[in-house]
Amino acid sequence: ETGVTQSPTHLIKTRGQQVTLRCSSQSGHNTVSWYQQALGQGPQFIFQYYREEENGRGNFPPRFSGLQFPNYSSELNVNALELDDSALYLCASRNRGGRTEAFFGQGTRLTVV
């Protein structure tokens, strides 16, 4: 058990709506990153947060935003949902500094209809 949990596990939203996905990181993990995994594809990097500030972003529009909290939890927010946003969303956390791997959560399956 890695200690990284995501909620909810499944979610269905309507196009145009907004969604918030949550991730609870392992204690002491001060870096969290979010990935989008479309069907049949590898995970794609969305952004990374370190000490509650965005610290790197992939090729995703501004309607994808995030927050990281002092209690090692974080959120991914997506506004104005589009059908193509349907995917598995993964969070991964690690302790920046030292030799530690990134631990992945089990993911949230988002379906936009």
Partner 1 sequence: AQRVTQPEKLLSVFKGAPVELKCNYSYSGSPELFWYVQYSRQRLQLLLRHISRESIKGFTADLNKGETSFHLKKPFAQEEDSAMYYCALKPTGGGNKLTFGTGTQLKVEL
Which residues of the chain form contacts with partner 1 (CB under 8 A)? 2, 4, 31-33, 35, 40-45, 48, 50, 55-56, 58, 90, 92-94, 96, 101-107
Q: Among all chains, which residue has been given the structure tokens 């995030």?
A: 66
Question: Shortest gap between Cβ of 4 and partner 1 (angstroms)?
Answer: 8
Q: Among all chains, which residue has been given the structure tokens 């990284």?
A: 4
Instruction: Indicate the residue among 44 and 73 with the shorter CB distance to partner 1.
Output: 44
Q: What angle do CA 5, 57, 110 make, to 5 degrees?
A: 45
Instruction: Indicate the residue among 48 and 86 with the shorter CB distance to partner 1.
Output: 48
Question: Shortest gap between Cβ of 15 and partner 1 (angstroms)?
Answer: 26
Question: Shortest gap between Cβ of 111 and partner 1 (angstroms)?
Answer: 19
Ranges of beta strands (E only) in 28-106 are 31-37, 44-50, 53-57, 64-68, 73-78, 87-94, 103-104
